[in-house]
Amino acid sequence: EAQVTQNPRYLITVTGKKLTVTCSQNMNHEYMSWYRQDPGLGLRQIYYSMNVEVTDKGDVPEGYKVSRKEKRNFPLILESPSPNQTSLYFCASSSRGRGDEQYFGPGTRLTVT
């Protein structure tokens, strides 16, 4: 089954404790990205990657890091989480780019206290 998986689905952590949210897709897609979704603000892109070893900032990259060492994986790293990063996070992939049909993961609900 074609899908995007994220782990963990739920995470509660404390300020400053480094964490990683994993994302994996099995569709051999070139393009992957991370979004955060906050009430009333819609989805905002954090980082995206056009291909292996190619990443670029989205609209709200501050406080986040990503890496793309393999085509199928695109982890999101929060080196020092803060309460304003409490949000619902989605990973997405598409075959050609963000304008193409994007496949979204199930989401990771992160709470930083």
Contacts to other proteins by CB under 8 A: 4, 31, 35, 40-45, 48, 50, 59, 90, 92, 96-107
- The CB-of-70 to other proteins minimum distance in angstroms stands at 19
How many Å apart are CA 25 and CA 89, to the nearest integer? 16
Specify the residue, 83 or 106, whose C-beta has the smaller distance to other proteins: 106
Specify the residue, 64 or 89, whose C-beta has the smaller distance to other proteins: 89
- The CB-of-55 to other proteins minimum distance in angstroms stands at 12
For residues 65-89, one letter each, b for 16 or more C-beta atoms within 10 angstroms of the residue's C-beta and e for the rest, the string is: ebbbeeebebbbebeebeeebbbeb
- The CB-of-69 to other proteins minimum distance in angstroms stands at 20
Q: Which two tokens stand for residue 16?
A: 């400053």
Q: Which two tokens stand for residue 79?
A: 């080196």
Specify the residue, 36 or 112, whose C-beta has the smaller distance to other proteins: 36
Q: Identify whether the C-beta of residue 111 lies closer than 8 Å to the C-beta of residue 98.
A: no
Specify the residue, 92 or 112, whose C-beta has the smaller distance to other proteins: 92
